[in-house]
Amino acid sequence: MSYAESIVALADPTRRQLFELLAAHPGPVGALAEHLPVSRPAVSQHLKVLSEAGLVTVRAEGTRRIYAVRREGLAELRAWIDGFWDDVLAGFEAEVLARKGNDT
């Protein structure tokens, strides 16, 4: 739901791999687990984290749960980084101006 949860979620390698799989195409838990080096329950747990971070969505299809990436979640993370980027540039500019003023 927030950029903080998103970045924590994507910090884990397995979860990143899982997210990449979902970026390619949505799918049920079992199919996803086949392409990952961990057990199916582990995948479920990772999906829970990704879901709570707002990075994926679920859709029930019979007894299957089809997971897919939630683009708004990734957009939020992008926006946060871009804001950070702006801060860095502003800080850099301030440093330059200060140096010019003091004439170090």
- The site for DNA (CB under 7 A) is made up of 11-12, 14-15, 28-31, 38-49, 58, 62-65
Of these partners, a second copy, DNA, none, which one is at the site of residue 84 (CB under 5 to 8 Å by kind)?
a second copy
Rounded CA separation 44/47 (Å): 5
Q: Which amino acid is at 37?
A: P
Torsion angles phi and psi, residue 38, rounded to 5: -125, 170
| Residues that bind a second copy in the complex, under the rule CB under 8 A | 4, 7-8, 10-11, 13, 16, 20, 23-26, 69, 71, 74-75, 77-78, 81-82, 84-85, 87-89, 91-92, 94-95
Rounded CA separation 31/28 (Å): 6
